[in-house]
A and B are shown apart, each in its own frame.
Chain A
Amino acid sequence: MADPGGPKRQILLLDDEAAISAPVARYFRNLGCSVDVAAEPEEAEALIVHRRYGLAILDVRLTRFGNAEGLEVLRQLRKRDHWTNVIILSAYISPEVEEEAISLGADAVLRKPQPLADLAQLALALMGDAQ
C-alpha cells in the first residue's frame, strides 16, 4: 500500500481494549500516520477540542462503560466540525446503531473483527478525500 503521506494524517482511535488499539495504532503509524489512542470517551472528547483529525475510528461500546459512548463522541465531534471522517468500528453493530451512526454523520460502519489491511484501505481512501 502506498505511503499515505506524512504527519498531516492525524487519526483519533477510541478503543479501551489495548489488545485491539495497540496493533491498529502501530499499523497506521507504520503507514506514516499520527495516531492518538483514547481509552475513555472523555479522553477522546478532550482531544477533539484541541486537535484536528483527518479520521476518527470509534468503538461504540467500551467494555468498562457499557453504553454507546462512541456515538456520543461522534455527536460531540459533529458539534465541532463536519469534515473529520469517521469510521465506527465495533462488535456491537445492530441495525439501530448503524442507522444512528450514519444519521450522526459517520462515513462508514464496520463490524469487528476487521482485517487491518481492509480498515487501512478504507481509512486512507477517506483521508484522501479529505485532502
Chain B
Amino acid sequence: MSHPCLIDRILEPAALSVRFQPVYEIGGNAVRWHYVECLIRGPEGTSVEQPEILFEYARKKNREAEVDRACVSTILGAAQCLPGSTRLGINVHASTLAMDPEFLTFLGDAARQTGIAVDRLVIEIVEHAPPWDVAAFRNALDGLRSIGAKVALDDVGLGQSNFMMILECRPSYFKIDRYFVHGARSDFYRRAVLASVAQLALPFAARVVAEGVETEADLEAVRAVGIDLVQGYLFGEPRTGADLKKSTLLGAA
C-alpha cells in the first residue's frame, strides 16, 4: 500500500496546529507580552511536524505559497482563543509576498472571518531562497503597512536576512537570531554583534527582539546593549493556546 501524498495531507483541514510563544517586553522589573508569535506545526506524527522541514518540503514541491496560506488560516483560527488586544506574530515567506499577488486580500479576508483586526498582526518575514521579484515584494510590504500590520524581519544576521533584506523590508522589528544571543554574556564578539544590531535599528525607528534567550545570563547580555524585547525558553517553550491562557503572565498581556 502506498502512502497518501504528504502535501495533500498537509493541506487537509485541521492537519496543521499552532504553538504560541510570546515576545516579552522587559521594563525595570516588569515583564509583559509585547506580541505573541504563532508557530505552525505540521501534521502530528509525520516527518514534517517541525516547521523548517515542513517549509523545506513545501518549497521543494513548489507549494510554498499554498502552505503559507494554510498556515495563516490555521493560526488566525487558533488565535481566536487569545485576548482581543494581543498582537499576533505570523511568519510569512518573502517569496509568498512577492509571488502571490492575492495574498494581501486573502490575509484581510481571513482576518475578517476570524474577527481579528489586521492592525493586531506582526508579519514576520522569513526567507530561504533569494530569487524573487523585489518590486512585487516591496508593494506587498507597503500593502501590509497600509492596512495597519507591522513588519518584522526574522532571523536577522543569518542566511537571507541580510543588509539587503533589511533595506527592502524597512522592518518595525529586527528579530536577531538565537545564534547571536545564547551565550553572549561570556562572548565579547557576540555582544559586539548584538550592540551593532541595536544601533542599526535606531535610524529605522525599529525595535530589536532577541530570540533564543535561554538563561538569565543571556537576558543580562541583551539588556546591557539596550534590547528590551526578548523571546526564548527562559520564559517558557512554545505552548498551545489552552496552556498559554493558563500561564501566570496572562494578566499582564
List the A side residues contacting B56 at CB < 8 Å.
45-46, 49-50
Q: Is A37 touching B47 in the complex (CB atoms < 8 A)?
A: yes
Q: In the complex the two chains form, what is the Cα distance from A64 to B1 in whole Å?
A: 11
Given that A36-B47, A38-B47, A46-B48 are contacting pairs, would A16 and B57 also be in contact in the complex, using a CB cutoff of 8 Å? no
Q: Is B3 touching A46 in the complex (CB atoms < 8 A)?
A: no
List the A side residues contacting B2 at CB < 8 Å.
16-18, 39, 63-64
Q: In the complex the two chains form, what is the Cα distance from A31 to B244 in whole Å?
A: 38
Q: Which of A18, A37, A42 has the most CB of B within 10 A?
A: A42
Find residues 1-32 in chain B having any chain A CB closer than 8 Å to their own CB.
1-3, 5-6
B50 within 8 A of A: yes
Given that A50-B50, A50-B52 are contacting pairs, would A45 and B60 also be in contact in the complex, using a CB cutoff of 8 Å? yes
Find residues 45-80 in chain B having any chain A CB closer than 8 Å to their own CB.
47-48, 50, 52-53, 56-57, 59-61
Q: Is A18 touching B57 in the complex (CB atoms < 8 A)?
A: no
Q: Residue A16 contacts which of B3, B47, B60 (CB distance < 8 angstroms)?
A: B3
Q: Residue B60 contacts which of A18, A39, A42, A51 (CB distance < 8 angstroms)?
A: A42
Given that A38-B47, A40-B6 are contacting pairs, would A46 and B1 also be in contact in the complex, using a CB cutoff of 8 Å? no
Taken residue by residue from 27 to 48, chain A's Cβ proximity to chain B (1 for < 8 Å, 0 otherwise) reads as: 0000000001111101101110
Distance from A76 Cβ to chain B, minimum over Cβ atoms (Å): 10
List the B side residues contacting A47 at CB < 8 Å.
47, 53
Q: In the complex the two chains form, what is the Cα distance from A37 to B47 in whole Å?
A: 7
Q: Is A43 touching B47 in the complex (CB atoms < 8 A)?
A: yes
Q: Is B6 touching A39 in the complex (CB atoms < 8 A)?
A: yes
Q: In the complex the two chains form, what is the Cα distance from A38 to B1 in whole Å?
A: 14
A19 within 8 A of B: yes
Give 16 pairs: A residue, B residue, CB < 8 Å, sorted on A: A17-B2, A39-B6, A40-B3, A43-B47, A43-B48, A45-B56, A46-B57, A46-B59, A47-B47, A47-B53, A49-B56, A50-B52, A50-B53, A50-B56, A63-B2, A64-B2
